[in-house]
A and B are shown apart, each in its own frame.
Chain A
């Protein structure tokens, strides 16, 4: 069964304290791994797509990486405005839908 697991469930960081969020997946043929940011009561906002192991993408303080079994979202010197829930999703070879993890709730304290 296709499965996506995110850890930790919640993370509190001091402003400037770098860290990483993890997304591990077990799927039957990966067509893409996607990272989204979601603010409370809002829809997910697209961040990155990764397609193959070894691929990396960067955007401001965020960097996403992909291996054959997991993806990391690295946050460098976070700011309070980075506080949000970060969702990981995969698309598999047998279908078109996304399978989402339950997300990591990030709080950055000034």
Chain B
């Protein structure tokens, strides 16, 4: 268990609102990635941060943005929420190109 912590665990928001999800990786793991997992689907890559910079981005609109802090923790922000944004949001930590370790996720429900 790599010890990735995500908060909150569950969240309910209304359409049009904004949400911030948080991720704290294990100490020393400098790469953080965010994924969206809809029910019954595999995780889809949103973006990856390395040394506080967005290194790569998946096919997600600009409503999805992020940030990485000097201690490697990270935030995922989603603006103008849509019903289709309801999903499990996963944070993964890693070092280099090795395997990634996932947190328990934040279940976001948009109503």
**Chain A residues close to B by CB (< 8 Å):** 4, 31-32, 34, 36, 41-46, 49, 87, 89, 91, 95-103
B-chain residues with CB within 8 Å of residue A103 when the two chains form the complex:
42
Measured between C-beta atoms, what is the minimum distance from B11 to chain A in Å?
14
**A contact face: mostly helix, strand, loop, or mixed:** strand
B-chain residues with CB within 8 Å of residue A96 when the two chains form the complex:
31, 33, 48, 55-56, 97
Interface size class of B (residues with CB under 8 A): 20 to 34
Given the contacts A96-B48, A97-B33, A41 and B40 also touching, CB distance less than 8 Å: no
Instruction: Give the CA-CA distance A95 to B33 in the complex, in Å.
Output: 12
Instruction: Tell me if B82 is interfacial: C-beta within 8 Å of chain A.
Output: no
**Chain B residues close to A by CB (< 8 Å):** 4, 6, 31, 33, 35, 40-45, 48, 55-56, 58, 88, 90, 92, 97-105, 107
A-chain residues with CB within 8 Å of residue B42 when the two chains form the complex:
4, 87, 89, 100-103
Measured between C-beta atoms, what is the minimum distance from B104 to chain A in Å?
5
